[in-house]
């Protein structure tokens, strides 16, 4: 039997309490670093995906708990777009990304793991990053520990 050790997944398995929204981040008792929040702006913020598709997988979200893009106001739309551009800049600089997948998963049917609080994904890509592991072993290989990635990205965001 093959074994893949991923002790950080225990946090996911034990998960947040039922009904808690990971994107509602106004609770001051939890630090940004423990949530992997990289930068906060007036209306939106950038958070690392704790269970990424690739190293540096980020999510841009409004603070308001919204399930529909049409409910965003102009300030939120602009903030999301500017943070998306800043995220691309940081990922190019820090990770040497060669391309990006960017998008929304709107609604559970479209693949949204958390459908009630919209968020945009930006996933850095590299030539040859799709290897045999996802195909043959249904396993993604993340080459750097999430805390190390967080430290590098947080520093880059603070320098923008």
Identify the structural domains of the chain with CATH numbers, from first to last. Answer: 32-158 (3.30.428.10)
- The predicted pLDDT at position 1 comes to 46
- Read off the DSSP letter of residue 17: P
**Does pLDDT of 117 surpass 50?**
yes
Q: Which residues contact 121 (CB under 8 A, 6 or more apart)?
A: 49, 57, 58, 59, 101, 102, 103, 104, 105
**Does pLDDT of 130 surpass 70?**
no
**Catalytically active residues, by annotation:** 119
Predicted confidence (pLDDT) per residue in 28-58, tens digit? 767 889 899 999 999 999 999 988 878 899 9
- The predicted pLDDT at position 36 comes to 94
Mean pLDDT of the chain: 83
Which sign does the torsion angle of CA 111, 114, 120, 122 carry?
Answer: negative
């Amino acid at each position: 039997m093959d074994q893949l050790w991923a002790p950080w997944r225990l946090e996911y398995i034990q998960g947040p309490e039922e009904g808690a929204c990971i994107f509602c981040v106004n609770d001051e008792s939890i630090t940004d670093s423990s949530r992997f929040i990289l930068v906060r702006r007036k209306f939106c913020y950038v958070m690392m995906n704790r269970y990424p598709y690739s190293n540096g997988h980020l999510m841009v979200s409004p603070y308001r708990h919204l399930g529909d893009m049409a409910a965003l106001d102009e300030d939120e739309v602009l903030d999301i777009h500017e943070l998306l551009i800043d995220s691309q800049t940081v990922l190019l600089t820090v990770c040497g990304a060669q391309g990006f997948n960017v998008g929304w998963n709107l609604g559970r049917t479209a693949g949204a793991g958390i459908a009630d609080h919209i968020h945009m994904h930006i996933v850095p890509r590299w030539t040859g990053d799709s290897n045999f592991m996802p195909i043959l072993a249904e396993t993604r290989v993340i080459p750097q520990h999430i805390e190390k990635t967080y430290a590098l990205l947080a520093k880059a965001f603070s320098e923008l």
